[in-house]
């Protein structure tokens, strides 16, 4: 394997080089900033899901560009759609980080409350209501 073709990772949010997951994504909306994103990486340090194309770099020069693209282009869009707790108002990455500090690494971090008026449920996180997650340990 040639060294210069090797992918290197650096989180454009927190500069960590460690990744937690790498997964395929697709966006049908062609006008969305994420339209060309086919893969995302979840950072093992800040826990944000970030497009792989700004997490991977080949040359050191790419790092600053990746940060700029993430901050100005992808992140504002991500903040609009990111899962957020209706009680503590924290985003999924803040919740996952705190859970990992207490050794909970399950992706199961939210449940949805059901509104009897039928206007859709609200998300409540595992930190706000740990009891609710006691039975789905597996």
Q: Which of 9, 34, 39, 45 binds Zn ion (CB under 5 A)?
A: 45
Give the number of other CB atoms < 10 A from CB of residue 121. 12
Q: What is the nearest approach in angstroms of Zn ion to the Cβ of residue 106? A: 15
Contact between 99 and Zn ion by CB under 5 A: the answer reads no
User: Where does this chain touch Zn ion (CB under 5 A) — which range of 1-9, 16-24, 75-83, 111-119?
Assistant: 16-24
CB of 95 to Zn ion, least distance (A): 6
Q: Which residues of 86-120 are buried (b: 16+ CB within 10 A; e: fewer)?
A: eeeebbbbbbbbbbeeeebeeeebbbeeeeeeeee
Chosen residue from 16, 27, 84, 98 binding Zn ion by CB under 5 A:
16
User: Contact between 104 and Zn ion (CB under 5 A)?
Assistant: no
In a 13 Å sphere around the CA of 80, the CA atoms on its Cβ side amount to 8
Which residues in this chain contact Zn ion in the complex, by CB under 5 A? 11, 13-14, 16, 43, 45-46, 85, 87-88, 125, 128
């Amino acid at each position: 394997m040639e060294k210069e073709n090797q992918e290197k990772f650096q989180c454009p949010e927190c500069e960590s080089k460690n990744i937690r997951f790498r997964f395929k994504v697709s966006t049908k909306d062609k006008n969305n900033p994420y339209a060309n994103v086919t893969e995302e990486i979840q950072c093992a340090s800040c826990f944000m899901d970030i497009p792989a194309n700004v997490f991977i770099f080949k040359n050191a020069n790419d790092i600053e560009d990746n940060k700029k693209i993430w901050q100005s282009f992808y992140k504002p869009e991500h903040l609009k759609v990111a899962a957020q707790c209706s009680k503590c108002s924290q985003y999924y990455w803040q919740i996952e980080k705190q859970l990992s500090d207490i050794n909970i690494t399950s992706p199961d971090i939210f449940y949805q409350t059901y509104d009897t008026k039928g206007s859709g449920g609200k998300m409540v996180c595992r930190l706000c209501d740990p009891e609710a997650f006691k039975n789905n340990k597996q």
